[in-house]
Amino acid sequence: MSRYKLGIDVGGTFTDLFLAAGGEVETYKVLSTPQDPSIGVLNGLETIARAKGVPARDFIDDLATIVHGTTVTTNAVLTRRGARTGLLTTSGVRDALEMRRGIREKQYDNRYQNVEPLVPRWLRLPVRERVDWRGQETQAIELEDVRDAIRTLKKADVAAVAICFLNSFANPEHELAAAEIARKEMPEAFVSVSTELLPTIRFYNRVSTTVLNAYSGPVLDRYLSSLTRRLSGAGFSGVLLIMQSSGGVALPEATAKRPATTLLSGPAGGPNAAVAVTRTLGHEGCLLVDMGGTSFDASLVQKGKLELRADGEIGRLRTALPMLDIATIGAGGGSIGHIDSGGLLRMGPESAGADPGPACYGRGGQHPTCTDANILLGYLDPGYFAGGGMKLDAEAARRAVETDIAKPLGLDAERAAVGMYRVINTNMAHGVREITVRRGLDPREFPLVVAGGAGSVHACMIAAELEIPAVVVPAFASVLCAAGMLMTDLAHDFARSLVSPVDALGPDRLQSVVSGLEAEGQALLEKEGVPRERIGHQVSLDLRYLKQYHEVTVPVPRAAVESADWSTIAQAFHAEHDRLYGYELSHEGTRLEIINVRVRSVGTVDKPPLPRCGSGESDPGAALKGRRRAFVPERDSFEEIPVYDGHKLLAGSSVAGPALIERTDTTLFVSAAYRATLDEHATCVLSRVGGAS
């Protein structure tokens, strides 16, 4: 009987693996293979098998479940390497994709250029048809226009077709007729239909999301085909699940039809793991920061719930599918340091990635990165990187920093590295402010959960800049997203537009829409093998005050929907509007308007336990490895500080800063202003020392 569950997060530099069996968990890291990420996945499986001393095929045969997060669609969109895509849309509106909402992102920058659409104008082809906002046909669809357009797209070697007509959310018949022709005439093409993906109001949101889905579809399909083929060839016969941007997982077959749901697949697992860890410490909310090799992700959990948003952007392109509210910036261990045209030191957003990687990797990288700076600062031991499995070239790191940073600034290499460290810490603190201060939240009210292989080196300095008193570093911090994937339920999100003043909505109309969406989710989850008793549905409504432009997504009790309890629904909206914007109009009797109905269907799965460690004395002396010269930011000096073996520390161990705690998968720098204490789950809790500055 298969006994292992494995979470896999493919990043830009490393592929992280989190293995669970019964009450035991293990973590692994291997270099990513950007040319084909599935190769890195198989390399990871072979690495685990070698560590266990068994043939790879025997280990893989013992895998019951793999949950996989991928950046394939993300990278395809950001690098513009997706499929050549054509768009069929209503005659007269084909330029909506380029005009977007008609609002300049930077209104006062006369040099600011619009983002280039994924579909060029000559491949955006008009179809004569029209449906009004009520769903009434005002002009029959000209099917010959569709056939002409398909012939044009075939000649242009288009691999994906997006179909999005005006007001189709109210009546999908024209889109479905066009899709039938497209699928018949271009059976090899990926066809994305807006009403199958996102049957909601607001044309630009819908057309942009449909195009993103089409553009990334063939790329994800090729990757999933390659991955499943390699896994099958290696002997895997278990269940493969794919992480979605909304924080749920789904089978590859469902994901392949809706590839746009994976645009934030990689970092989406982290918040689930962060919630599991902080609950053991008595917190129902936290800030999560994940510093990997290429990017830095920041997200927020409040009252034990992941923050979901109904729309977002990737590469300045709008997607209106539900996704976790994650702010991402180009700041990671591979972020390249450089001097800009004004003579200022910058870190990122460009990254050395996995190939060639930082200069210290010895793989041909010539530019100085954050990792190179951390070696010069004494935070990383070149002989113990990845537990000694990967030797780093300290001299190559020094040469890169001297050439590109130190000499242009007139500094020595170590002071240049100090500058690099401080700049990237400031960048990451700014990323946290994006999801807190800019939304009226105080970051000091949340513990800071730190993840990623590089995050623990910078944790104290990020917290100090934001005045956060408590930092939490889980035992599996370096692979937190991979761990979170095993703590994630199967989930599917559905939405339908239902535009009406709330007080004019018939008592059965809302119930009918909700029941229909729940039936879709129920059928899909049962098809995925989830027992009926483990399936649940969460209902939310997009509401606004009448004549407002923007709406607010509000969770509502199912009982309120069944009984048409508009008073309870209105109270929930007023409270949420007040939380977001600081005011509500319930006392003025302002009418409410419903825009969209949303249902999230969830299939609950068993979660792996958190790791546990033995108890011991508070004195960490037994884990002392030695001392190393390292930079202490609070005192702006290099000092000899103790280095502890993180694997020998026990629950109750207390380490006063400045100190280093080394593990095979990460290094934790405890600055002079903090003290680190281990709990029973090997979670390292850092508390600010009283009076430290």
Q: Is the confidence at residue 310, as pLDDT, over 70?
A: yes
How far apart are alpha carbons 547 and 360 in whole angstroms? 58
Burial class, 442, CB count within 10 angstroms (exposed 0-12 / middle 13-18 / buried 19+) = exposed
pTM of the model: 0.84
Choose between 257 and 78: higher pLDDT: 257
pLDDT of residue 693: 44
Confidence of residue 2 (pLDDT cuts 50, 70, 90): low
How far apart are alpha carbons 150 and 184 in whole angstroms? 10
Q: What is the pLDDT of residues 484-534, one digit of tens each?
A: 999 999 999 999 999 999 888 877 899 999 999 999 999 999 988 899 999
Secondary structure of the chain: what % helix, strand, coil (to 5)? Answer: 35, 30, 35
Indicate the pairing of strand 624-632 with strand 592-603.
unpaired
Q: Is the confidence at residue 1, as pLDDT, over 70?
A: no
Q: Is the confidence at residue 691, as pLDDT, over 60?
A: no
Structural contact between residues 178 and 141, judged by C-beta atoms closer than 8 angstroms:
yes
Q: Is the confidence at residue 474, as pLDDT, over 70?
A: yes
CA 123 to chain centre: 31
Burial class, 493, CB count within 10 angstroms (exposed 0-12 / middle 13-18 / buried 19+) = buried
How far apart are alpha carbons 428 and 409 in whole angstroms? 23
CB contact burial 307-344 (16+ within 10 A = b; e otherwise): ebebbbebeebbbbbbbbbbbbbbbbbbbbbbeeeeee
How far apart are alpha carbons 453 and 149 in whole angstroms? 49
Which amino acid is located at 647 in the chain?
H
In degrees rounded to 5, what are phi and psi of residue 383?
-90, -5
HSE-up of residue 44 (Cα within 13 Å, Cβ side): 32
Q: What is the pLDDT of residues 580-614, one digit of tens each?
A: 888 888 877 789 999 999 999 999 988 888 888 88
Q: Is the confidence at residue 692, as pLDDT, over 60?
A: no
Q: What is the pLDDT of residues 35-46, one digit of tens each?
A: 888 999 999 999
The DSSP secondary-structure symbol of 404 reads I
In degrees rounded to 5, what are phi and psi of residue 225?
-65, -45
Helix (H) or strand (E) holding 376: helix 370-376
> Which CA distances in Å does 560 have to 181, 407, 497, 515?
42, 67, 19, 13
What lies within 8 Å, CB to CB, of 516 at 6+ separation is 496
| Cis check: omega of the bond before 199, within 30 degrees of 0 | no
Q: Is the confidence at residue 4, as pLDDT, over 70?
A: yes
Choose between 440 and 56: higher pLDDT: 56
Find tokens 């500058």 and name the residue.
419
Q: Is the confidence at residue 623, as pLDDT, over 60?
A: yes
Please state, as a whole number, how many other Cβ atoms lie within 10 Å of the Cβ of residue 510. Answer: 24
Average pLDDT score, the chain: 91
Q: What share of the chain in percent tops pLDDT 90?
A: 66
Q: What is the pLDDT of residues 121-168, one digit of tens each?
A: 999 999 999 999 999 999 999 999 999 999 999 999 999 999 999 999
Burial class, 356, CB count within 10 angstroms (exposed 0-12 / middle 13-18 / buried 19+) = middle
pLDDT of residue 297: 86
Strand partners, 192: 162
Choose between 309 and 379: higher pLDDT: 379
Choose between 124 and 341: higher pLDDT: 124
Q: What is the pLDDT of residues 403-436, one digit of tens each?
A: 999 999 999 999 999 999 999 999 999 989 988 8
